[in-house]
Amino acid sequence: MPDTRRKKEKGLIIVYTGDGKGKTTAALGLCVRACGYDLKTAIVQFVKGSWHYGELDGIKRLGPNVELIRVGKGFVGIIDDKLPRAEHEKAAKEALELVNELIHSEKYDIIILDELNVAVSLGLIKIDDILKILADRPAALDIIITGRNAHEKLIEAADLATEMKEIKHPYRKGILAKQGIDY
């Protein structure tokens, strides 16, 4: 962490959860703000896998301040998932090891764990493993966690938890996901 002022501040655990849209978008907005202060951010994407999202190209434009690492093997058990569950579990285990390395590398001010809540709710990652990693992190490091179904223990450990609630969604009218808005 390059800024000595930040080393003295308490790092926050921030959780964005809920059934509404905007969890990853909120985390990415925070990332853009952090870039404005020359802070370094690592984004680790769980679950999303090989699909192409606009944020992949957009984040490249934020370099060298932001690094995106995709560790998931795709959505588990839905849509076009043909992988055995064991492959998803292996990817999640490797992801946790990577996250632990990133957290202790002292290269980042902020680490975003995108869709981690989904990996926990699907049983790919144990909540107690996450809580241990969070408890052992450097004191000034901010961690942002996104995804539906945040575990109650994670919300309890968080300094800030926000629930996105769906009120209305175009999909309900038959309008499919829109490039640049949804992906």
Q: What is the C-alpha to C-alpha distance for residues 87 and 92, in angstroms, rounded to an integer?
A: 9
pLDDT at 61 over 70: yes
pLDDT at 97 over 70: yes
What is the domain partition of the chain in residue ranges? 16-173
Task: Express as a percent the part of the chain with pLDDT over 90.
Answer: 62
What's the average model confidence in pLDDT over 58-87? 77
| Residues paired with 160 in a beta bridge | 14
Angstrom CA distances, 64 to 60, 61, 107, 166, stand at 8, 8, 12, 34
Give the CATH class of 16-173. Answer: alpha beta
End-to-end Cα spacing for the chain: 31
pLDDT of residue 79: 60
What's the average model confidence in pLDDT over 60-76? 82
With CA atoms as reference, report the closest residue to 60 among 68, 52, 51: 68
Q: Note the pLDDT tens digit of each residue in 142-171.
A: 999 999 999 999 999 999 999 999 999 888
pLDDT at 3 over 90: no
pLDDT of residue 162: 98
Q: What is the C-alpha to C-alpha distance for residues 165 and 21, in angstroms, rounded to an integer?
A: 8
- In order, the DSSP letters of 39-108 are --EEEEE-S-TT---HHHHHHHTTTTSEEEEE---SSTTSTT--S-HHHHHHHHHHHHHHHHHHHHSS--
pLDDT of residue 174: 87
pLDDT of residue 80: 62
Q: What is the C-alpha to C-alpha distance for residues 116 and 111, in angstroms, rounded to an integer?
A: 12
